[in-house]
A and B are shown apart, each in its own frame.
Chain A
Amino acid sequence: MQDLVVPMLRTIAVIAVLMTLMPYMTWFERRVLAAMQVRHGPNRVGWQGLLQPLADGLKLLFKEDLTPSNSDRWLYRLAPAIALFAALASFAVIPFGPTVEIQGTMVPMCIADLDIGVLYLLGVSSLGVYALVLGGWASGSKYSLMGALRAAAQVVSYELILGLALIAVVLTVGDTKLSTIVQQQHDGVWLVFLQPVAFVLYLIAACAETNRAPFDLPEAETELVAGYHTEYSGMRFAMYFIAEYINMLVVSSLAATLFLGGFSGPFWPGPWWLILKLMVFMFLFVWLRATLPRLRYDQLMRLSWNKLLPIGLLNLAVTAVIVVYRSGK
């Protein structure tokens, strides 16, 4: 029984933190974006607009739950649930602190420190593609279907880049367990210095994976209204929205874990360091959105297949040569 209760409490805590952090990410994004565009952003509801996310959530909850008559009812209702499920489940393997002792029991600060942590993350996060495709297709709207097709092709293309970047990292460390990767960086140098190419590839792919600007073609509002969630309203729209932000949190914390030493750092406890490093990437996401215009679709595809994929393969080959050479000495 104890085997299940402790992980369950840990999981509830993590999900609660994620669900609290997520609305404030929208606040953070709107405020930073506004500052970059010389505006104020939401600052009326509560001190500095801090209650704005709460108000937005309540508003969405009381919006009418529309199911268009043209849609495929069950798939239409299922798709946002898949999106949220995949986003929540993918956080399970991120370690956010060293093992601590609470009342005599050793509690690891990670929901599940799997041996194949990186692979688990790749697998679960790619479940999210189903949500986009099913939701777009089931809506029974042309905008949605086009958005879904674009999203599928884009996510699938950049998943390879992501995979290649991750494999290069794993090859350098020699382990797919995330806590080992953090430990090695704690003892040595951060992997961003050992794998700069993989780091850049990972960042680009992460933007594309989460459908963020400049890769937000699936939801290009000027041509596709809102892409795959054109027809969604109220809480179902909110579920896609929450999933997108939680995915951003997951890719940011994975970036921090793999390249910036994860939760390791002096003075503060682990979780604070992870959140600090994660915020660096969240800021980067917003900064990119404020700076770069959206790519054209052919540019997007060319960038992925003709440029990044060869670079990724080359980076992997060079890494392999170095690893083999150093083992021979």
Chain B
Amino acid sequence: MSQSSIAIAQATPYGAWASVFVVGVLAFAVVGGALLVVRLVTRVFDRIRDNKERLSTYECGEEPVGSAWFRFNNRFTTVALAFLIFDVELALLWPILPRCLEWLAMGKGVLLFIEVGAFAGTLALSLMWVAAMGGFAWDRTVEDGFGDDQGKESGDD
């Protein structure tokens, strides 16, 4: 009885995904437990509670100047966009791979290669374009034609 149920659990994808669910729940429990322990221990052992100095932001003893949520460099956006392009490429390549063998067995390998190659090649071209536009050049200066704030030609910023 017990044997058969385990065999089924291993034979169907549902069984494997059920284990993933179990992992999720247990990982959640471990993390939740850790947080609970932190809460309890600090409740019991923390002597000094209201101390403004100690709760202030760590800046080597100086008073923090301005908000911590400053405006950051635009280049991070370029990287994020480039990442999106290629992550989508990878995400779309994954479902093709398991089907590869079937197509190869049918003798359509070259067709498959051309089709996927055209897709990946287009994205590779876009990578070259972003690189040529200086999207990944972090040490660029105004002299290179990339103004940071008030430059005349600000490129892709």
Contacts and interface: CB of A to CB of B under 8 A. Distances in A.
Interface residues of A, number: 88
A220 interface: no
Given A70-B64, A323-B104, A143 B109 contact: no
A327 B46 contact: no
B23 A142 contact: no
B83 A112 contact: no
A234 interface: yes
B57 A297 contact: no
A292 interface: no
A316 B89 CA distance: 13
Interface in A62-108: 62, 64-70, 77, 81, 84-85, 88-89, 92, 104-106, 108
Contact of A313 (B15, B124, B138): B124
A12 interface: yes
Contacts of A153: 76, 79-80
A207 interface: no
Interface stretch (A20-28, A170-178, A183-191, A256-264): A170-178
B144 interface: no
Contact of A324 (B8, B28, B55, B113): B113
B30 A88 contact: yes
Given A3-B18, A160-B83, A139 B26 contact: no
B68 A298 contact: no
Interface in A286-329: 297-298, 301-302, 304-306, 309-310, 313, 316-317, 320-321, 323-324, 327-328
Contact of A89 (B10, B23, B42, B104): B23
A11 B5 CA distance: 18
B43 to A, nearest CB: 9
Nearest to A71: B57
A163 to B, nearest CB: 4
A68 to B, nearest CB: 6
A15 interface: yes
B112 interface: yes
A204 interface: no
Contacts, number: 228
Contacts of B56: 68-70
Nearest to A9: B22
Given A8-B22, A85-B31, A231 B138 contact: no
Contacts of B15: 3
Given A106-B7, A164-B90, A112 B79 contact: no
Interface stretch (A30-38, A114-122, A208-216, A277-285): A114-122
A231 B16 contact: no
Interface in B1-54: 2-3, 5-10, 13, 15-20, 22-24, 26-28, 30-32, 34-35, 37-39, 41-42, 45-46, 48, 52, 54
A228 to B, nearest CB: 12
Contacts of B97: 167, 170-171, 174, 176
A159 B139 CA distance: 22
A7 B22 CA distance: 7
B142 interface: no
A73 to B, nearest CB: 11
A65 B46 contact: yes
Contacts of B6: 2-3, 6, 105-106
A236 B38 CA distance: 8
A250 B24 CA distance: 16
B93 interface: yes
Nearest to B123: A313
Contacts of B16: 112-115
B136 A89 contact: no
3 tightest Cβ-Cβ pairs between the two chains A and B: A298-B138, A112-B19, A327-B104
8 contacts: A3-B8, A7-B19, A64-B46, A112-B20, A143-B59, A176-B98, A225-B60, A302-B136
Interface of A: 2-4, 6-8, 10-12, 15, 19, 61-62, 64-70, 77, 81, 84-85, 88-89, 92, 104-106, 108, 111-116, 119-120, 137, 139-146, 149, 152-153, 156-157, 159-160, 163-164, 167, 170-171, 174-176, 225, 230-231, 234-236, 239, 297-298, 301-302, 304-306, 309-310, 313, 316-317, 320-321, 323-324, 327-328
